[in-house]
Amino acid sequence: MLFPASDLLVHPADTLAYSYDNSQLQSIPAAVAFPRRDKQIMQLLKHCNQWRLPLTCRGKGTGTTGASLPPAGGIALSLEHMNEILEIDPDNRLARVQPGVTNQQLQQAAAEHGFFWPPDPTSAAVCTIGGNLACNAAGPRAVKYGTCRENTLGLSAITGSGNLIHTGVRTTKGVVGYDLTRLLIGSEGTLAIITEATLKLTPLPEARRTLQAIYPDVTTAAAAVSAIMAQPVTPSALEFMDGQALHMVKNYSDPGIAGNAGALLMIELEESTAAIDAATKRIAAAASIPGCLSVEVARSQEQVQQLWRTRKALSPALRNVAPKKINEDVVVPVSRIPDLVQGLTGLAQKHAITIINFGHAGNGNIHVNLLIDPDDPQQLAAAKACLDEVFSLVLGLGGTLSGEHGIGLVKREFVRREIDDPTLALMQQLKDLLDPNGILNPGKTLP
């Protein structure tokens, strides 16, 4: 038997738990399989190809775009039992892990040796490394350390045709062959199933410093972001909240922000003990552009928690107002953030929708939150029209439709606006080569 009864679910009451992710979509699979070895996946794919059974792999289902939704009547392949940390090699600054390892588990294991893996999505406590790699999820630290693509050395993966392949190297330099590692990362399981990853670790910083800067408006805050990113000290996190977000936080839990605050930057530095004070002065000076209302530096852990109180209060506030809000993670050049937010303000007025903006300003990665009730047909129709214009706005500013959430199902119809037909045709040829029968995560990523 390919899967013992304990590793296979077929009753609808059991498979229901694997029919959704963190999007508002749902699709019930015919079965859920829990592999523990590569050979099981290879054998399963042989049967899926023979019978043309669609298959979607998944981690903990924390994605927001429907990328891990199983095809109706198909198979959900849950990799949660492939959850071993195979190696931590501090001498070579690398770790080898299976895809079911959570981000937090890896961070804890690496920390015991004085290291960390830079990608740190908000859901790090539960999201898996396989899921992080599937959509190139990164989090706030990407501004300094890069995304999964910059922090992964190599992969083992099984293509849609059932072949086990190995990509990349164990060294930080290597140019033999094509870069298949970066191709698979972000492909949302449409090309191959990642079964092992060799990850590049970074030494834990000796010192960390947190700053909070307040501005009268978004334009001034965005100018400060450009000034901060133009000098040599790169922050490890540079988070942004617009005036609407600050207003909502005040209504939920007063964080003590001045009433004339129109935008906020949360800045975090990670440096050596010898360099942290000088780096802090430099960042504070860069943030203190004309019009800046205040720059506050935390000098204790209690002050750090106080400064982060505003940012941490935002998500509960949004959930309280709109539990089923729409959250998009668009990216624009840093200098175009003011144009983006001003454009979004106009769209909010045009479509009578409250839009809250926050996110990773150092990358220009802004989370655009439409506070609607999708169960209200009128609001849903307005949201669809608004989203259409949001994406047009982003692309018109030289941006991209997604920074880390991926495409999945919810953005698939918009991909053709960003990628031209010849490029899409080449991508489809790659898909056909690695997954000739189209059984891996069909209907995702490509239009």
Burial 275-302 (b: 16+ CB within 10 A, else e): ebeebbebbbebbebeebbebebbeeee
Query: d(Cα 331, Cα 206) in Å, to the nearest integer?
Result: 31
- pLDDT tens digit string along 64-82? 999 999 988 899 999 999 9
Provide CATH code, domain 207-396: 3.40.462.10
Which residues are 57's β-sheet partners? 77
Over residues 407-427, the mean pLDDT reads: 96
**pLDDT value of residue 1:** 79
**pLDDT value of residue 260:** 84
pLDDT at 412 over 90: yes
Is the domain defined by 5-78 classed in CATH 3.40.50.970? no
Amino acid residing at 110? A
**Residue 93: which residues within 8 A CB-CB, separation 6 or more?**
115, 172, 200, 201, 202, 203
Over residues 432-438, the mean pLDDT reads: 98
Cβ-contact 391, 399 below 8 angstroms: no
**Residue 210: which residues within 8 A CB-CB, separation 6 or more?**
266, 267, 268, 269, 297, 298, 303, 304, 307, 308
Q: To 10 degrees, the CA torsion angle through 319, 322, 325, 327?
A: -50
At 374, the pLDDT band (50, 70, 90 cuts) reads confident
Q: To 10 degrees, the CA torsion angle through 143, 146, 148, 150?
A: 170
Over residues 422-429, the mean pLDDT reads: 98
At 185, the pLDDT band (50, 70, 90 cuts) reads very high
Strands 55-58 and 75-78: parallel
**pLDDT value of residue 35:** 98
pLDDT at 265 over 90: yes
**pLDDT value of residue 247:** 83
**pLDDT value of residue 211:** 96
Query: d(Cα 235, Cα 210) in Å, to the nearest integer?
Result: 10
Query: d(Cα 111, Cα 418) in Å, to the nearest integer?
Result: 39
- pLDDT tens digit string along 83-128? 999 999 999 999 999 999 999 999 999 999 999 999 999 899 999 9
Cβ-contact 291, 275 below 8 angstroms: no
Distances (CA, A) of 47 to 28, 50, 302: 20, 5, 57
Based on the number of CB atoms within 10 Å of its own CB, is 207 exposed (0-12), middle (13-18) or buried (19 or more)?
A: middle
More confident residue, 419 or 247: 419
Within 10 Å of residue 7's Cβ, how many Cβ atoms?
16
% pLDDT > 90, the chain: 84
Residue 239's H or E segment, with its range, is strand 237-242
Strands 31-33 and 75-78: parallel
**pLDDT value of residue 182:** 98
Query: d(Cα 248, Cα 331) in Å, to the nearest integer?
Result: 23
Which residues are 33's β-sheet partners? 8, 77
One DSSP character per residue, 41-60 reads: HHHHHHHHHHHT--EEEESS
At 307, the pLDDT band (50, 70, 90 cuts) reads confident
**pLDDT value of residue 422:** 98
pLDDT at 316 over 90: no
State in Å, rounded, how far the first CA of the chain is from the last one. Answer: 37
Q: List alpha helices for 126-212, DSSP H.
A: 129-135, 142-145, 180-184
Amino acid residing at 3? F
**pLDDT value of residue 135:** 95
**pLDDT value of residue 59:** 95
More confident residue, 199 or 300: 199
Nearest one of 119, 156, 138 to 41, comparing CA atoms: 156
At 38, the pLDDT band (50, 70, 90 cuts) reads very high
The domain limits of the chain are 5-78, 85-203, 207-396
pLDDT at 188 over 90: yes
Is the domain defined by 85-203 classed in CATH 3.40.50.300? no
**pLDDT value of residue 319:** 78
- pLDDT tens digit string along 349-370? 999 999 999 999 999 999 999 9
Distances (CA, A) of 411 to 72, 163, 405, 437: 19, 30, 10, 23
Cβ-contact 194, 157 below 8 angstroms: yes
Q: Where are the beta strands (DSSP E) in 146-186?
A: 152-159, 164-168
**pLDDT value of residue 323:** 85
Nearest one of 307, 298, 288, 310 to 241, comparing CA atoms: 310
At 313, the pLDDT band (50, 70, 90 cuts) reads confident
| Long-range own/partner contacts, residues 165-174 (CB < 8 A, 24 or more apart) | 165/192, 168/198, 170/92, 170/94, 170/198, 171/92, 172/93, 172/200
Distances (CA, A) of 134 to 69, 154, 162, 288: 13, 14, 18, 39
Residue 347's H or E segment, with its range, is helix 337-351
What is the residue-averaged pLDDT of the chain? 94
